Amino acid sequence: MFEGAEHDGAFVDDTSVNVYEFTTLRTKDKAAKDGQKIARLLKHLLSQSANRFKAATGYFVTQEEPTADQRVAVQNICRAENVQIHCMSVLQLQTTLVDVEGYIRLRANAPFGSADSQLPDSALRDQKYVQPTFRAVATSEASKMGDILSAVGAGGNVVITGDFGIGKSAALRELWRQLRKAYFKRPAEYRFPIHINLRDCVGLRSPREILQRHSEEIGFQGASGLVSAWRAGRADLILDGFDELIPARWIGSPRDLLSIRWQALSAVRQLVDETPHVSSVVISGRAQYFSNSAELVSALTAQDAQVFELVDFDAAQVHDYVGSALPPEWLPTRPLFLEMFARSVSEADVEELSMANRGSGWRRLLSPVSEREAGRVSSIPAATFEALISRIAVVARIESDGHGPVTLESMRRVFYEVCGYEAEEEGVQALLRLPGLASTGADQKGGESRTFLDADFADAAFGLELANYVANPFGDHPMCDRAKWATASTSLAAEVAADAISANGFDGSIVRACASKRIAEDLFDAVLFDVVAVAAMLTADRAAKIEPFFADILVGRLELSDDSDIMNSANWSGCMIEALDVGSMSHLNHFPRFQNCNIGRIEGWQSVPAAVASNFIDCKIEEFAAAGGTTAAILQLDLTDTERVALTILKKVYAQSGSGRQLPALSRGLPLDLRPSVEDVVTLLTSKGLVSIGEGKGVQIVRPMREARGAVMSVLNTPSSIASLIGS
């Protein structure tokens, strides 16, 4: 109160005097009245000796843009009273407190988490964004970016989770762009977005420190204005990477992890707690960082938040992302892998990767994945990340005979074995967010476990470690001893190992030597099968005859062919084989022996031929492949020679997802008069987009096409419709 009149605000500090009047009225009289009030109070305050040399400014602030009459009235008072009074809208006043345009301009030029880690070129950062699919955790319903924007606009908090490479940072960058666009379109109605990379805020303890650090990182000078705007409810927060805040060192019991993560996220909780209810906070990270969803919600104080999970691209999204250069069938539809495919340095590399066999392709993908993780953790190099992932894939087989779960205690022991020291702060962070793994929750003792989300990722990682063992079977590698698991690995693991061995300049001789060592030590286990599977894929200069013996192991799929000298010499005892594929066997004079084995299905025969009946001793065979699925049955169909050859080729190529067959192997099982037409039929199938041809180990490989699998499998079920597929 001054001279009997109420004033909206007067602020005096060490250097300035500021007086405010706010109004919703748009009349000239109101401007003149409030202008006089401001002038009288300014003169009174300046008359005080303590304020004599301070700058004095008045503010007449309107809800809408001031009218021309109001501006003239205020200007007249300024001239008459010799004072400075600004006539402006409340939006203009907010701009004087925080330079939103300046902030957004600088923020746009700074990195957005891992979304820009592989894209240093600003032109690439402006690429077309493919809208992902979110899954609402509470309802399991599919959602789009528009649903996230609606939740933010309503002032609700949002949590976005997902596995590595699923596009979390890219989604948050797009969310920031959409919110920025809405703000500039109607700044009086919308809040502006503040996007913060949490990895830049390690060790900070308060919201102000986080906003200050964020401003420094992007080169913005108005950190205090950001704080004011946030506390006034004029900004929405986007926090990327809650899993990238480095926790304290893990030195105690498994239960200590709860307090470690709680401590690491202290400043984030403060940001959420102190954000006005009219504003929104969006938080993103890898859910595996926590033991379960309940801890995630509690640690982020997001009890009322909507939780969404990003999912892999579908076929339409893949096409939108990579265009006409469709990726190979074996490549996962995760945006990170698609980006690595699409951002190859040249068209030749794209073609090479698309034609690469699975082993070579996966080996080439695991390295950049490790490099990407190393870029987020400064103290652990990429080679160490790759070693951690591959060694944990071995432990997953030891502890679960498959792809997990693996206890975090075991992962910590692996860290010590690989790095030579206990996991410290960044080491704990690396283990909690290791790519490809998901949390399986906590056990009754509070211990936590992780499991591989993607079977191919786990098998490829195991293949790298298998190659390391084969190169040095006399060291202290975990595979040197008898396998503690019974399940043999898949063909993908063998392909990756074979490719890694070839890339290191070795041939099959080193693999056969490893197999001979295990046989001599009576180690007839799953590791021996894996080693033999690798040996079967590589040529050897000194190919000594090996007759492996396998006992009490489980094999998902065993494929036999005429040129598989090692497998065809094998003896099997007490094993379980889910599928035995003999479709490529044209000669039965060299065939493995099975005793007391349980075989789920034999593909390629209607019954065991008399020539090899003695090779199956006390074996149980659940079923044989349907007659229509055998090469012999296909050759009996009333079709043209081209159609019959095409069916046999498609059957062999599409027998297993992501695999392929060597071109020479496609002739096996065919009559001599049909074999010369195989290459011409492959060319026809290639022109129809049904198969692709690439190089692998010096031999042409015929591979399936992801987009054609549905049509091909339909024709294989109804062979008479082959003409509609190949146009013959």
Domain assignment of residue 2, yes or no: no
Instruction: Give the C-alpha separation, 472 to 184, whole Å.
Output: 62
Answer whether the bond into residue 671 is a cis peptide, omega within 30°. Answer: no
Domain assignment of residue 319, yes or no: no
Average pLDDT over residues 416-436: 88
So what's the pLDDT on residue 347?
47
Instruction: Give the C-alpha separation, 56 to 48, whole Å.
Output: 12
In the structure encoding, which two tokens stand for residue 574, read together? 């007490």
90 and 141 together in one domain = no
pLDDT digits (tens, 9 = 90+) for 192-205: 999 999 989 888 88
183 and 280 together in one domain = yes
Domain assignment of residue 63, yes or no: yes
Angle, helices 455-471/526-535, rounded to nearest 10 degrees: 80
Contacts of 282 (CB under 8 A, 6+ apart): 148, 152, 157, 158, 159, 160, 172, 175, 236, 237, 238, 239
149 and 296 together in one domain = yes
50 and 148 together in one domain = no
The answer to whether residue 553 scores a pLDDT higher than 80 is: yes
CA distances to 11, 18, 51, 84 from 55, in Å: 12, 8, 8, 10
The answer to whether residue 144 scores a pLDDT higher than 90 is: yes
The answer to whether residue 427 scores a pLDDT higher than 80 is: yes
Which of helix, strand or coil describes residue 618? coil
Domain assignment of residue 414, yes or no: yes
Tell me the CATH number at 50. 3.40.91.50
461 and 576 together in one domain = yes
Tell me the CATH number at 251. 3.40.50.300
Angle, helices 266-274/256-264, rounded to nearest 10 degrees: 50
Which of 328-337, 380-389, 546-555, 610-619 has the weakest average pLDDT? 328-337
Do 28 and 67 touch, CB atoms closer than 8 A?
yes
Domain C-terminal end among 406, 425, 456: 456
**Residue of 268 and 259 predicted with greater confidence:** 268
- Strands, E, within 512-619: which ranges? 549-551, 554-561, 571-573, 576-584, 593-595, 598-603, 616-617
The answer to whether residue 124 scores a pLDDT higher than 70 is: no
Share of the chain above pLDDT 70, in %: 91
Domain that holds residue 418: 342-456
The answer to whether residue 312 scores a pLDDT higher than 70 is: yes
Contacts of 201 (CB under 8 A, 6+ apart): 209, 210, 213, 214, 245, 267
429 and 526 together in one domain = no
pLDDT digits (tens, 9 = 90+) for 701-714: 788 887 788 888 88
- Beta-bridged to residue 597, according to DSSP, are none
109 and 62 together in one domain = no
Domain assignment of residue 325, yes or no: no
So what's the pLDDT on residue 195?
97
Cβ burial 162-184 (10 Å sphere, 16+ → b, else e): bbbbbbbbbbbbbbbbbbbebbe
Instruction: Give the C-alpha separation, 510 to 530, whole Å.
Output: 14
Domain assignment of residue 357, yes or no: yes
178 and 283 together in one domain = yes
404 and 543 together in one domain = no
541 falls in which pLDDT band (50, 70, 90)?
low
133 falls in which pLDDT band (50, 70, 90)?
very high
So what's the pLDDT on residue 522?
95
CA distances to 292, 397, 704 from 284, in Å: 15, 31, 36
pLDDT digits (tens, 9 = 90+) for 370-404: 988 888 777 889 999 999 999 999 999 999 878 88
289 and 165 together in one domain = yes
Average pLDDT over residues 310-334: 81
So what's the pLDDT on residue 324?
67
- How many C-beta atoms lie closer than 10 Å to residue 251's C-beta? 11
How many CA atoms, within 13 angstroms, populate the side-chain half-sphere of residue 49? 0
In the structure encoding, which two tokens stand for residue 130, read together? 């493919």
So what's the pLDDT on residue 254?
57
Which of helix, strand or coil describes residue 357? coil
So what's the pLDDT on residue 76?
95
Which of helix, strand or coil describes residue 158? strand
- How many C-beta atoms lie closer than 10 Å to residue 199's C-beta? 18
Share of the chain above pLDDT 90, in %: 48
Contacts of 312 (CB under 8 A, 6+ apart): 166, 332, 333, 334
The tally of domains found in the chain comes to 5
Average pLDDT over residues 436-460: 83
So what's the pLDDT on residue 627?
45
Which of 1-15, 291-305, 383-397 has the weakest average pLDDT? 291-305
425 and 382 together in one domain = yes
So what's the pLDDT on residue 345?
38
So what's the pLDDT on residue 255?
63
The answer to whether residue 367 scores a pLDDT higher than 70 is: yes
CA distances to 69, 88, 188, 628 from 65, in Å: 12, 7, 11, 79
Domain assignment of residue 332, yes or no: no
Instruction: Give the C-alpha separation, 290 to 441, whole Å.
Output: 8
pLDDT digits (tens, 9 = 90+) for 176-225: 999 999 999 988 889 999 999 998 988 888 999 999 999 999 999 989 99
Domain C-terminal end among 438, 456, 474: 456
Which of 65, 64, 77 shows the shortest CA–CA distance to 31? 77
Domain C-terminal end among 410, 440, 456: 456
445 and 496 together in one domain = no
Give the mean pLDDT of the chain. 86
**Residue of 128 and 102 predicted with greater confidence:** 102
User: Do the strands 158-161 and 281-285 form a parallel or antiparallel pair, or are they unpaired?
Assistant: parallel
68 falls in which pLDDT band (50, 70, 90)?
very high
The answer to whether residue 121 scores a pLDDT higher than 70 is: no
Domain assignment of residue 686, yes or no: yes
Tell me the CATH number at 703. 1.10.10.10
Which of 273-282, 318-327, 362-371, 712-721 has the weakest average pLDDT? 318-327
